[in-house]
Amino acid sequence: MKTKLIVLFTVTLALVCACKAQQNTNTVAVDKKMNSSSKAKKNILFIAIDDLKPMLSNYGETQMKTPNFDRLAGLGMTFTNAHVQYAVCGASRASVMTGTNPDTNKVWDLHTDFRESAPDLISMPEHLINQGYESTGTGKIYHIPSAAKGHDGKTWSIPHVMPKNFDVKYGEPALNHYQSPVTKAKMVQLTKEAEAKGIKKRGKIRQYVLKRLKPSTENVAVGDDAYNDGLFTQTALKQLEQLELGNKPWFLAVGYQKPHLPFTAPKKYWDLYDREKIELAKFQQVSEGTPKFAYHSFGEIRAYSDIDNSLRVGDKIPEAKQRELIHGYMACVSYIDAQIGKLLDDLERRNILDDTIIVLWGDHGFHLGDHTEWCKHSNFEQATRIPYMFAGPGVKKNQKSHHPVNLVDLFPTIFDLAGVQNHAQTDGKSLVPLLDDDKGTTIDMDYAYHQYKRGPKMGYSIRTERYRYTEWHNDNYRSYNNYNTSKIAGRELYDYEKDPLETKNLVKDASYKTIVRELKAKLKTHLTQ
């Protein structure tokens, strides 16, 4: 009897151990599957830069000192013919963050919140959160006045941060921009003057001050953390530490405000450039045969107190001031280049640089005197063309593509690279076929597109490798209305192979008749499909 009990106990113990072993095997398999799934979803560093045109050394601008843009370019793909969908902050950022064109999300200005104009849309990070990601950010990702509460709170699983911990040596910049002691003292004086006149509301006081003193540039010897963009980098590095301590894949957005006006950057970045050697725009007049309504009188920069407010289309800012402004723009770009270097250094220190998807983009270009234009707000090349760079897993290193692409394409591309389920919402297309070094893999679309409104006229353009064709439609036309050739108020054609500066509108040139017909058909298909 005793022997039978021992045998029974031994068999039972063996069965229990076998079950336990099988359970452990299953657990390990599940853990491996979960770890594999987690690794399949890649971390994403999303860098947005305000008003940045491709005035960078990796885009062939030899006068620029931007080694960290070069460094990022060496890690992946640089698109040289990339364009925004609308050349103004609010509309462009709503477009890229939702993956939709302005006529879909109905944001064509600086004031509209896409959550109100198109409430069925979701944001790119919102979709990632639904796919198991942590999402957080700092700086300007949406246009701040048009974003919902919390810098569009639905976009972040960890709240977005706009830091104010400025270097105590300098304190907070006056009116969010200025650190010059002289400027600060004068602004304090003007604030007291406004209050003495009975002006009480903060916004009205701000308007009073800026109407009298609003410098377009500032060059003072301060550290990077004296201005907002230095703080954004600080904050991003802290956020990265928090994200890396978690167990989820992450999306970290860093939105730099420079080189947006005013051109304020620490003196060390101004010192990188010799103002007298700075290249001014070569073509400073309106183009031959181009409709006048294609231009604007650059009201954004005329709002600064050191710019002649009487200037209009065709008028030039004096050369000395042009040099100062371009110098300031270049200094701001180098300031941002240094911030990007700090981000890349930290990824490298953590040994995750090659494992992190990095995308960098500008929200539109910027006129610096060409066509006598300044700022953005047009359908010309300098307003629509942007820097657009990808790096990380799935992207071959040190590549350049001249294929025309759109900023709205970022939405599906980032999901493909990250290894998450894509989203049907987008008007864009994945650029993954272009991110390798195989010339045989490409995308079907052979043009980029964009639009800009001037009064009741909406201008729509397509940009191929060689040409830009634009139609200006009357009566507040949008692409969801019926296309009507009789409502076209003006057209433009530029040949960048023969005329890269857009000096002449060729739309009526008989030698381009076939090209015009082909491009018109492409644009009409784009607007009506």
Q: What is the tally of structural domains in the chain?
A: 3
Instruction: Identify the pLDDT of residue 20.
Output: 45
Residues 84 and 149 placed together within one structural domain of the fold: yes
Quote the longest CA-to-CA distance of the chain.
112
Instruction: With respect to residue 54, please indicate whether it lies within any of the assigned structural domains.
Output: yes
Cα–Cα dist 259/497, whole Å: 29
In terms of domains, do 66 and 116 share one? yes
233 with 341, same domain: the answer is yes
Q: Look at residues 445, 477, 511 and tell me which one is the last residue of a structural domain.
A: 445
* 483 and 426 within one domain: no
Give domain status of residue 308, yes or no: no
How would residue 29 be classed by pLDDT, with cut points 50, 70 and 90? very low
What does the pLDDT average to over 408-427?
A: 97
Closest-CA residue to 232 (of 160, 168, 139):
139
The domain in which residue 121 lies consists of 43-160+228-255+332-445
Q: Of 434, 438, 398, give the one whose Cα is nearest residue 416.
A: 434
Q: Provide mean pLDDT across the span 381-406.
A: 98
Same domain, 57 and 127: yes
Whole-prediction pTM: 0.92
Peptide bond into 145 cis (omega under 30): no
How far is 335 from 273, CA to CA, in rounded Å? 12
pLDDT tier for residue 40 given thresholds of 50, 70 and 90? confident
Same domain assignment for residues 130 and 7: no
| Whether residue 371 sits in one domain with residue 473 | no
CATH code (residue 464): 3.30.1120.10
Instruction: Give the pLDDT confidence score for residue 28 in this predicted structure.
Output: 37
Residues 467 and 383 in one domain: no
Tell me the catalytic residues: 89, 143
Output the six-digit token pair for 517: 């017909």
d(CA 19, CA 12): 11
Q: What is the pLDDT of residues 318-334, one digit of tens each?
A: 999 999 999 999 999 99
pLDDT, one tens digit per residue, over 433-485 is: 999 988 889 999 999 999 999 999 999 999 999 999 999 999 999 999 999 99
Q: Which of 265, 228, 236, 277 is nearest to 253 (CA)?
A: 236
Please spell the DSSP secondary structure of 80-136, one letter per residue.
EEEE-SBSSHHHHHHHHHHT--HHHHT--SSS--HHHHSTT---HHHHHHHTT-EEE
